Amino acid sequence: ISINIGINNSINSINNINDVQPSEERGDGARWAVLIVLCVTFAANAYSYDIPSALHQQFKDYMEASDSHHSLLVHHDIPVTITTTANDMSAAPHNFEFDFSLLYTLYSVPNVILPFFGGRVIDQVGPSNCLPFFASFCCLGQFVFTLGIAQKAWTVMFVGRFLYGVGGECLYVAASSILSTWFRGKELAFSFALTMAMARMGSVINNWISPIVATQHSTPAALWVGSFVSGIMLTMTVLMYFIDRTYAKGQPQHHRLSMEASATDNSAELPAQLQQPLLSDAMHEADEEDTTSLQPQRQQQQQQQQRMDEEQATTRGLGKLFWLLSFSCLVVYGCILPFNSFASGILLERNYFKSPPDDCTLAFPDQCTVGTLVPQSASNPATDSNGDTCPATNFAPVLPTSVNGTDGSNQSSQPIKVDCDSKFWSQDCTKDYCDALKDATVTADRVMSLPYLISAVMSPFMGIVVDRIGMRAILTTLAPAVLAVVHATLAVSQGSAFWPLLGQGIACSLFASVIWPSVPLAVTKSLEGTAFGIMNSIQNIGLALFPPTVAWIHERSQGRYLPNVELFFAFVALGGTVIGVAMCWEDQRTGGRLHSIDGNGTKPPAVLPSSQQEDQQPRQQGDQVDEEA
């Protein structure tokens, strides 16, 4: 899903490129080689981005089992060495969920600002030149993140995810710009749809592979696989650089088509606008120091002030419809991406690894349950208050409540923190628990991949349907309404998660197919780049704030996701539905551009800068155009 952020940030550049006469045609073989290389790049990037969500439970067990110390456990009079958690005996429990949420927040933070600048840098330097640079940030970030998990150091992990965020979204923008150059005028829509589908398939593959690697080897091993995948991504971007460079010979300026085309546009780039106050001050000082250049400098200063006024008019000219689209994007994607980050934990708690009943206890609460340390003649079964064996299928096996340890002549009772990456827990002491957790995690991760899988398959077809029926505002309202039902069902029902997640995938595909193509219909052509930049920033604000909010709700709910976290998502989706209703009303009021099939509606946009409004209004037949004006 996150591929939309980068792809749609470059739509304005794509439109401008299409306005320019195509350069020398590339060979079909090279074009398809470019498409394959970028598909692998997108899939690898999505794979690494989604590793934390696929390993939520493994992260929790691995990070909470901190540096160990050794004590002696007496199990049926057999002394054994046991690894226990030293931190938990003297310090308050660590808030894992909050730290986990920061892994996604810190990825999104730089992308609140970068959408405004990344496109301009790419236009100036060239997308194929920028692609390996951004991929290097991703590769470095994933490597640092892996080192952090290996050392159980949250701070190092945070730095790695931040570095990954700096490169991740800009990588999508640069790759999208390359696609628009190689495929403009021919299979452009197909190339974008295929790369979007491959990005989502990268997430699906991660959900299947990472848990298996983590359970069969270790949690750090799954992260090292992600680092290897990031290395493949970096290799693909270098290969893309040489392919593009080879076919760019004789056309050294082909990467600048987008910039040259947009130079004829009335709108000004935002980074240039941010420099205007400094430039104005410099002009003022120069006027005082050099009177010989007074007139040219005043003229330039007046031009700069005019651009600033136009930028302010641009903000006003975006109109209510655009702002409704932006807030809908923030709210609805806030129900999709953050949910996926926590979906593994939610599904384990709800369906596949439920907490055992309170009355289900071990015969010997301070001893191991199943493993090499448990003699055949000294089993430690769990029974309920009626004496029946418990717990049932899809429940977590009961763990010992404490460990009786001896250190010299002293004895102590220490809380259990099971780390299934440790041989002691997975083979010797709590084998039943670790085996059940591994199976449940693999199942949960496969089920949570369903929305992405549906989105990868359905998105291209959804786009075709929307192009043929219009009704974009209505569909933008329908998608969050479906999400509200999905999350309410997950909150209050104990049934299968298949049908709610099926609805999640359909709603996700529908919304992604509608929201981004609606932006050019809500603003004038000259404002498309600014509009996409603002919308991406607003979206990333939501993606930065929602994960910590979920972690806070989880903490306030005694360490449980259900029902409060899912009810939160349901109410957020309901808010998106209300925004959609307001959008339908505003679209009807301003001419029905979103509702119409061709996007033209019955009348021009209601709110535009005065200078642009004149350009947009249809001229009556026979009207004379005042060329001088």
Give the residue, 513 or 554, on which the prediction is more confident.
554
Q: What is the mean pLDDT of residues 319-328?
A: 94
Q: What distance in Å separates the CA atoms of residue 392 and residue 398, rounded to the nearest whole number?
A: 11
Residue 151 to residue 157: CA distance in whole angstroms: 9
168 closest CA partner among 266, 237, 256, 68: 237
Out of 167-171, 223-227, 249-253, least confident range: 249-253
Q: Are 315 and 267 in contact (CB under 8 A)?
A: no
Orientation angle between helical segments 528-556 and 114-125, nearest 10 degrees: 140
Strand partners, 525: none
- pLDDT one-digit tens code per residue, 450-505: 999 998 888 778 878 888 888 999 999 999 999 999 999 999 998 999 999 999 99
Q: How sure is the predictor about 517, in pLDDT bands with cuts at 50, 70 and 90? A: confident
Dig out the tokens for 615 from the structure: 């350009």
Longest CA pairwise span in the chain (Å): 105
Residue 73, pLDDT score: 40
* Radius of gyration in angstroms for the set of CA atoms belonging to the chain, rounded to a whole number: 28
Which residues have a Cβ under 8 Å from the Cβ of 31 and sit 6 or more positions away?
182, 183
* pLDDT surpassing 90 at residue 609: no
3-state secondary structure of 385: coil
**Which domains are assigned to the chain?**
68-85+359-432 (no CATH), 305-352+450-607 (1.20.1250.20)
pLDDT in tens, 584-606: 999 999 989 999 988 777 644 44
Q: What is the pLDDT of residues 526-563, one digit of tens each?
A: 777 678 778 888 999 999 999 999 999 999 999 999 99
Q: In this structure, which amino acid lies at residue 262?
A: S
Show the tokens assigned to 442: 């693999």
What is the distance of C-alpha 174 from the center of its chain?
Answer: 17
- Helix axes 498-522 and 472-492, enclosed angle (nearest 10): 150
Provide the pLDDT for residue 306.
Answer: 59
| Segment 14-29 mean pLDDT | 48
Q: Which helix (H) or strand (E) holds 175?
A: helix 154-183
Q: Is the peptide bond prior to 415 cis by the omega test (within 30 degrees of 0)?
A: no
What mean pLDDT do residues 234-240 have? 95
Mean pLDDT across the chain: 78
Residues 220 and 345: their CA atoms lie apart, in Å, by: 19
The answer to whether residue 138 scores a pLDDT higher than 70 is yes
